[in-house]
Amino acid sequence: QITLKESGPTLVKPTQTLTLTCSFSGFSLSTSGVAVGWIRQPPGKALEWLALIYWDDDKRYSPSLKSRLAITKDTSKNQVVLTMTNMDPVDTATYYCAHRLRLGSNGYNYFDYWGQGTLVTVSS
Amino acid sequence: ETVLTQSPATLSLSPGERATLSCRASQSVSSYLGWYQQKPGQTPRLLIYDASNRATGIPARFSGSGSGTDFTLTISSLEPEDFAVYYCQQRSNWPITFGQGTRLEIK
């Protein structure tokens, strides 16, 4: 059974760098077709996709945040790490990591398993 | 980027009624559109992928249709647990984008 869990700071100061770790089980990021994404949701607002990393280490980023984001994977630890630089109060949100839908050997860029999310507040 | 516009923003219906939610894309996304349900305090749940395919474990009362720029999520007969916020998401064009959501509330 697939599970994911985000960890990281709950409070960061403006201009600081946020580092979030997604620890997962039930799948391997070395398997063809597998990918993990990050999505965030400001309080009371809509979902916003941030980044996606594939089994072959291909990476995709939201263009509006690309200069501030980096996503990496550690296959041996079953972890994905997202860093976001120069944090601002508008980045206050719940940050989710999620497993990309995979049916057979085919992957689809939707998210079928989500972590519980971690609320990150940006404030001085 | 592909903007997804959902309507209505809020839909007020009673249990047993039929719900029709709309998602319109600013450019064609072919059939590469999905739907999620999110209840308060919970994570999003994938309902529909590629316009009309129900995800694993999703009841048959949920159905999706559409292609190109216009899509619909239909709930044939509302159950009390269906009142939630619904988001559409496209995977056709980078970046992946979500709609702003439709709140389905009890009338």
pLDDT digits (tens, 9 = 90+) for B25-59: 999 999 999 999 999 999 999 999 999 999 999 99
pLDDT band at A110 (very low <50, low <70, confident <90, very high): very high
Rounded CA-CA distance B81/B16 in Å is 12
Q: How far apart are CA B89 and CA A47, in angstroms?
A: 9
Which residues in chain A are closer than 8 Å to B89, comparing Cβ atoms? Answer: 47, 49, 110
pLDDT at residue B7 in the model? 95
Substitution target in B31, B37, B43, B85 with the highest count of A β-carbons within 10 Å is B43
Q: Determine the Cα–Cα distance for residues B71 and A60; give it in Å rounded to an integer.
A: 26
pLDDT tens readout for residues B58-90: 999 999 999 999 999 999 999 999 999 999 999
Say yes or no for a CB contact (<8 Å) between B46 and A110. Answer: yes
Task: Select from A110, A114, A115 the Cβ nearest to the Cβ of B49.
Answer: A110
Chain Cα centroid distance, residue A6: 8
A26-36, pLDDT tens digit by residue? 999 999 999 99
Say if the Cβ atoms of B46 and A112 lie within 8 Å.
yes
Segment 10-29 of chain A within 8 Å of chain B by CB: none
**CB contacts < 8 A (A, B):** 52
Residues of A in contact with B56 (CB under 8 A): 112
Q: Residue A87 has what pLDDT?
A: 98
Identify whether the C-beta of residue A4 lies closer than 8 Å to the C-beta of residue A35: no
Is B44's CB within 8 Å of A112's CB?
Answer: no
Asked if A108 lies within 8 A of B94 by C-beta distance, the reply is: no
Determine the residue of chain A that is closest to B5 in CA distance. Answer: A46
Across the interface, whether the CB atoms of A101 and B55 are under 8 A apart is answered yes
User: Is the separation of the CB atoms in B82 and B59 below 8 Å?
Assistant: no
Picking from A46, A111, A112, the nearest residue to B100 by CB comes out as A46
Shortest distance between the Cα of B15 and any Cα of chain A, in A, equals 25
* pLDDT of B15 higher than 90: yes
- Listed in order, strand segments (DSSP E) in chain A are 3-7, 11-12, 18-25, 35-41, 48-54, 59-61, 69-74, 79-84, 93-103, 106-114, 118-122
| Residue A13 clears pLDDT 90, i.e. is over it | yes
| Chain A residues in contact with B97 (beta carbon < 8 A) | 49
Tell me how far apart the alpha carbons of residues A108 and B99 are, in angstroms, rounded to a whole number. Answer: 18
pLDDT per residue over A50-67, tens digit each? 999 999 999 999 999 999
Q: Is the pLDDT of residue A105 over 90?
A: no
Contacts of B50 in chain A (CB under 8 A): 108
Using the predicted structure, report yes or no on whether residue A41 has a pLDDT greater than 90: yes
Whether residue A104 has pLDDT greater than 90: no
